[in-house]
A and B are shown apart, each in its own frame.
Chain A
Amino acid sequence: ETGVTQSPTHLIKTRGQQVTLRCSSQSGHNTVSWYQQALGQGPQFIFQYYREEENGRGNFPPRFSGLQFPNYSSELNVNALELDDSALYLCASSPGAAGSSYNSPLHFGNGTRLTVT
């Protein structure tokens, strides 16, 4: 059983640029969630994908978008980067069905540390 892997591990971008972060979910997990974690804070929910469709979103602007692919990989795209976007971005997969109560744990990757200068 492979775990959740994210790439790259670290990334430095300039304000206004665009970035794509990648995640490979655990095999068999149809649901992937993305979280943003600022330094010293808890993870904040960005959105969730189930079977390649976004089915839930947190309080993040439309410049945060995502994709999920049939091979259990997914992407988080952020356009027009701002300084406040600097954070650890975490991907988490689970076998649970979308929109249901979280009766199964999330499996997290080690994240991508994004720095916006």
Chain B
Amino acid sequence: SQQGEEDPQALSIQEGENATMNCSYKTSINNLQWYRQNSGRGLVHLILIRSNEREKHSGRLRVTLDTSKKSSSLLITASRAADTASYFCATDLLEGNTGFQKLVFGTGTRLLVSP
């Protein structure tokens, strides 16, 4: 099951520009996380935002969360070629039968930053 969907699927920008990626999800959440993945590698955690938070910053990253719209955005300011990667949002999804919460990833946005 796909809880999160990122938009756009692919994004191509020049170095120095800002990159904005969006994530929409379907059910209520406790928190939302953003991860980055370089080609063929593991995922690296970027930032976690809790459901009672609206905005969070980490270096050049800014994440917003709108629980009423069930959406989040990741903004990377002053992009660099090294930011080229896929970016995924992930939310906790409650399994109704067992009460188990699993982390479910979206489909990802592939960002290409050209020098």
- A contact residues vs B (CB 8 Å cutoff): 4, 33, 35, 41-45, 48, 55-56, 58-59, 88, 90, 92, 99-111, 113
Once the chains are docked, how many angstroms separate the CA of A59 from the CA of B93? Answer: 13
Q: Is the CB–CB distance between B41 and A111 below 8 Å?
A: yes
The distance from the CB of A6 to the nearest CB of chain B, in whole angstroms, is 8
Once the chains are docked, how many angstroms separate the CA of A4 from the CA of B42? Answer: 10
Q: Is the CB–CB distance between B45 and A42 below 8 Å?
A: no
Size of the B side of the interface (Cβ < 8 Å), in residues, is 30
Q: Which chain A residues lie closer than 8 Å to B100 at the CB level?
A: 48, 55-56, 99
Once the chains are docked, how many angstroms separate the CA of A17 from the CA of B71? Answer: 42
Q: Which of B14-22, B61-69, B102-110 contacts A (4 or more CB under 8 A)?
A: B102-110
> 27 A-B pairs, CB-CB below 8 angstroms?
A41-B107, A42-B4, A42-B88, A42-B105, A42-B108, A43-B88, A44-B105, A45-B103, A55-B100, A56-B101, A90-B43, A92-B42, A92-B43, A102-B90, A102-B92, A102-B103, A103-B30, A103-B31, A103-B48, A103-B50, A104-B48, A106-B45, A106-B103, A108-B35, A108-B42, A110-B41, A111-B41
